[in-house]
Amino acid sequence: MEFFIQQLVAGLTSGAIYACVALGLVMIFVSTDHINFAQGEMAMFATYLAWAMIDAGVPFWLAFILTIVIAFAGGLFIQRVILKPLEAAPVLSLVVCFIALLSFFNALAGMIWSFTIKQFPSPFPPRDVFGNGLVSIQQIGVVAVTLIMLGILTVFFRYTTLGLAMRAAAQNPASARLMGVRVSWMLALGWGLAAAIGAVAGMLVAPIVFLDPNMMTGILVYGFASALVGGIGNPMGAVAGGFIVGVLENLVGSYVIGNELKLTFALAVVVGVLLLKPAGIFGRVIVRRV
Amino acid sequence: MAAITDSWATRGRPGWIVILFWGLLAALPLAGLFTNDPSFDYYMFMGQAMLINAIAILGLNLLIGFNGQISLGHSAFFAVGAYTAAILMNFAGFPYWTTLPIAAVICFGAGFLFGFPALKLEGHYLALATFTLAIAVPQLLKYKLIAPWTGGVGGLILDKPDPPEVLKLSPDQYLYYLCLVVAMLAFWIVRNMLRGRSGRAMMAIRDHAMAAATMGINTARYKTVTFGISAGITGVAGALSGITVAYVAPDSFTLQLAVSFLVGLVVGGIASLPGCIVGGAFIVLIQNSSQSISDWMKVTFSLRYDVPAWAIYGVLLILLMYFMPRGIMGGIETLWLRVTNRKEASS
């Protein structure tokens, strides 16, 4: 029973991180219908920036905030400069572009900071909460940061004019444009948000898995699985999907298939959801007229 | 990507350029007679790698360029091909050349089966599913239950085949010819297929799936079979790579391999057969000269860091998508058609 609870908590912790990655994917998907393959590497790169700042003596939480701001600006920049000219391009060009960004960021991080793994400081002390070895402050912290971020995003989308404009641009670009919303800039904002959320995910996971240029590959795959399980167009669904996939991954990993096939499990989840319920658990089925 | 037809693929007879080109490739090892360069065998090995990559890209191009299904997971089929060859040679004592058709059949099966879920997926979703496949494969190959056959993390070491005595070739020259013959065969098969009814059906599905279905094309069957053939061709390339490198290991079949195929495809030219060879040669050249390119860039742009090949790939892919979305051969073809005033140039 104790082992089960430990696995459950560990699952919720990794689930929180998957939820962040999935949330970043959803931000881009709802407004553009694109799946950003570079989401993980963008997050990894932002995490390196945070590491460099902390290494230079900046306090953790200041570096945390600064990294989020820089990541936001970076995401905005990528959309404006690289993806805007390809807005009308075929799917293949976009996929190639995302893969290019993925390779580029991976190589750039390796180039600047080398491919050796680095220790990333954790803001949370590694102590137990209840003193029985079940739940650590680190785990509570990760989940709490995710939930706080989700809260901020919900408030932003529901109660601010800018959030409303972004939702309008995503749901009905033509009408939004007629109402004076600058749709193209709303897409850029979506990219900025996605990059910022990704940065949070990267900084949360780095103390657990250590920092190296390939650290997000597996996590990105789980992020995909989470986003799909929850319904890739639904932010709340993505978060729920993240927790579901995180817990499932840990339970299936420890009781059924072992840790060596975790990525295969993610593959099975991705293909399974796409085949059986492409809209996910919380997603709406989109009927397309021809 | 509407209405791209490959003029080389659809033209009636193989032109003299094509014959000359393959002839030239076949004559290359003869240069060894006139040189005492100790690294000549290494050049032959690079030539093998280029041809192998060209075949793998041909498989990918058939799927992406001519059928419009995006795959980021062809490293998986390459791996299946390589492991098929390795396991058959090491554990069942098969002669190396018999493993090629077997790898083709097994990879066709694997691709055909993966083609079924792919049927329901389009564009980004298919890219997503195949991306996940590419990432899962190395881990799957290391799995302990199949480790007795796959060699686990360490992989398998093979015997490099010896050339027949009568040919008086060095092993690397011989393997070069093996790759060349297989490549010619693969290109010949694909070219004939594309010229016929099935090729037109594949391209019709790519350009407008619904219209194709209305015209009586069984889109489901064509898409799964194309996926199978594509995987089969890439699998043969994988088997060849296992034979020529004489070593297979899980970490050679990562997402990066799939991405390098994609790079070759995009550089050479989407929906272009000669482009596959250009792309195959390109990725081998970049990988082999990445150190000197990096040194050159460090000096020219006074950079403090090494420039890995992947950074170059990334920048190059984005630039190509802007300026030459059909790749080098695509660009040349468009230019050629414009110069010779063919009607296709305007479409």
3-state secondary structure of B336: helix
3-state secondary structure of B65: helix
Which chain A residue's Cα is nearest to B267? A96
Q: Give the pLDDT confidence score for residue B347 in this predicted structure.
A: 42
B27-57 tens-digit pLDDT: 888 887 777 777 888 888 999 999 999 999 9
Give B-chain residues touching A110 at CB under 8 angstroms.
Answer: 308, 310
Q: Check whether B305 has a pLDDT greater than 60.
A: yes
Mean pLDDT of chain B: 86
What is d(CA B212, CA B194) in angstroms, rounded to the nearest whole number? 16
Q: Check whether B99 has a pLDDT greater than 90.
A: yes
Give domain limits for chain A: 19-215
Give B-chain residues touching A225 at CB under 8 angstroms.
Answer: 132
The answer to whether the CB atoms of B142 and A260 lie below 8 A apart is yes
**In this structure, is residue B176 part of a structural domain?**
yes
Contact assessment for residue A34 and residue B124, using Cβ atoms and an 8 Å cutoff = yes
Q: Which element (helix H / strand E) includes B247?
A: strand B247-248
**In this structure, is residue B93 part of a structural domain?**
yes
Contact assessment for residue A262 and residue A268, using Cβ atoms and an 8 Å cutoff = no
Give A-chain residues touching B142 at CB under 8 angstroms.
Answer: 260
Mean pLDDT of chain A: 87
Q: Check whether B148 has a pLDDT greater than 60.
A: yes
What is d(CA A240, CA A227) in angstroms, rounded to the nearest whole number? 9
**In this structure, is residue B231 part of a structural domain?**
yes
Checking ipTM against 0.90, whether it exceeds it is no
The answer to whether the CB atoms of B139 and A82 lie below 8 A apart is no
Q: Give the pLDDT confidence score for residue B316 in this predicted structure.
A: 86
B63-95 tens-digit pLDDT: 999 999 999 999 999 999 999 999 999 998 899
- Highest mean pLDDT pick, A185-194, A252-261, B16-25, B118-127: A185-194
Q: Give the pLDDT confidence score for residue B337 in this predicted structure.
A: 76
**In this structure, is residue B44 part of a structural domain?**
yes
**In this structure, is residue B315 part of a structural domain?**
no
Q: What is the DSSP string of B76-140?
A: HHHHHHHHHHHHHHHHS---GGGHHHHHHHHHHHHHHHHHHHHHH--HHHHHHHHHHHHHHHHHH
Chain A with chain B: Cβ pairs closer than 8 A: 137
Say what the pTM is. 0.89
What is d(CA A139, CA A147) in angstroms, rounded to the nearest whole number? 13
Confidence of residue B253 (pLDDT cuts 50, 70, 90): very high
The answer to whether the CB atoms of B120 and A275 lie below 8 A apart is yes
What is d(CA B112, CA B221) in angstroms, rounded to the nearest whole number? 10
Confidence of residue B13 (pLDDT cuts 50, 70, 90): low
3-state secondary structure of B305: coil
Task: State which amino acid sits at residue A16.
Answer: A
The average pLDDT across B125-154 equals: 88
The answer to whether the CB atoms of A33 and B124 lie below 8 A apart is yes
The answer to whether the CB atoms of A35 and B142 lie below 8 A apart is no
The average pLDDT across A114-118 equals: 86
Q: What is the DSSP string of chain A?
A: -HHHHHHHHHHHHHHHHHHHHHHHHHHHHHHH----TTHHHHHHHHHHHHHHHHHTT--HHHHHHHHHHHHHHHHHHHIIIIIGGGTTS-HHHHHHHHHHHHHHHHHHHHHHH-SS-B----SS---BSSSSSS-BHHHHHHHHHHHHHHHHHHHHHHHSHHHHHHHHHHH-HHHHHHTT--HHHHHHHHHHHHHHHHHHHHHHHHHHH-B-TTTHHHHHHHHHHHHHHH-TT-HHHHHHHHHHHHHHHHHHIIIII-GGGHHHHHHHHHHHHHHH-TTTTTPPPPPPP-
Give A-chain residues touching B315 at CB under 8 angstroms.
Answer: 100, 104
A266-275 tens-digit pLDDT: 888 888 888 8
Q: Give the pLDDT confidence score for residue A263 in this predicted structure.
A: 86
**In this structure, is residue B309 part of a structural domain?**
no
Percentage of chain B beyond pLDDT 90 is 40
The answer to whether the CB atoms of B143 and A260 lie below 8 A apart is yes
Tokens standing for A108? 């750039």
The closest CB to that of B311, out of A91, A104, A266, belongs to A104
The answer to whether the CB atoms of A267 and B210 lie below 8 A apart is no
Q: Give the pLDDT confidence score for residue A77 in this predicted structure.
A: 94
Contact assessment for residue B268 and residue B280, using Cβ atoms and an 8 Å cutoff = yes
- Highest mean pLDDT pick, A29-33, B41-45, B159-163, B165-169: B41-45
The answer to whether the CB atoms of B321 and A99 lie below 8 A apart is no
The answer to whether the CB atoms of A92 and B255 lie below 8 A apart is no
Q: Give the pLDDT confidence score for residue A289 in this predicted structure.
A: 60
Contact assessment for residue A102 and residue A37, using Cβ atoms and an 8 Å cutoff = yes
Q: Check whether B1 has a pLDDT greater than 50.
A: no
Tokens standing for B31? 């240069």
Mutation target for B interface from A116, A215, A267, A270: give the one with most B CBs within 10 A: A267
**In this structure, is residue B197 part of a structural domain?**
yes
The angle subtended at Cα B343 by Cα B337 and Cα B347, nearest 5°, is 90
What is d(CA B323, CA A68) in angstroms, rounded to the nearest whole number? 33
The average pLDDT across A9-25 equals: 91
Q: Give the pLDDT confidence score for residue B64 in this predicted structure.
A: 93
What is d(CA B99, CA B225) in angstroms, rounded to the nearest whole number? 22
The average pLDDT across B225-245 equals: 95
Which chain A residue's Cα is nearest to B270? A92
Tokens standing for A81? 């400069």
Range scoring the smallest mean pLDDT among A53-67, A193-207, B120-134: B120-134
Give A-chain residues touching B316 at CB under 8 angstroms.
Answer: 100
Give A-chain residues touching B61 at CB under 8 angstroms.
Answer: none
The closest CB to that of B139, out of A224, A225, A263, belongs to A263
Residue B119, domain extent: 12-254
The closest CB to that of A270, out of B128, B144, B318, belongs to B128
**C-alpha B180, offset from chain centre:** 13
**In this structure, is residue B313 part of a structural domain?**
no
Mutation target for A interface from B318, B322, B324: give the one with most A CBs within 10 A: B318
Distance from CA of B129 to the nearest CA of A (A): 6
- Highest mean pLDDT pick, A63-77, A80-94, B19-33, B289-303: A63-77
Q: Give the pLDDT confidence score for residue A220 in this predicted structure.
A: 93
The answer to whether the CB atoms of A274 and B259 lie below 8 A apart is no
Contact assessment for residue B176 and residue B48, using Cβ atoms and an 8 Å cutoff = yes
- Which of B235, B300, B223 has its CA nearest to residue B103? B235
CA distances from B276 to A165, B28, B136, B216, B280 (A): 46, 19, 26, 31, 6
H-type alpha helices, chain B:
7-10, 16-27, 40-67, 74-91, 99-120, 123-141, 147-150, 171-195, 197-207, 209-214, 219-245, 255-268, 273-300, 309-323, 327-339
The closest CB to that of A92, out of B70, B133, B314, belongs to B70
Residue B307 or residue A142, greater confidence = A142
Q: Give the pLDDT confidence score for residue A208 in this predicted structure.
A: 86
Mutation target for A interface from B131, B265, B306, B324: give the one with most A CBs within 10 A: B131
Indicate the number of domains in chain B. 1
Q: Give the pLDDT confidence score for residue A88 in this predicted structure.
A: 77
Give B-chain residues touching A227 at CB under 8 angstroms.
Answer: none
Tokens standing for B19? 């014959």
The answer to whether the CB atoms of A260 and B314 lie below 8 A apart is no
Q: Give the pLDDT confidence score for residue B346 in this predicted structure.
A: 43
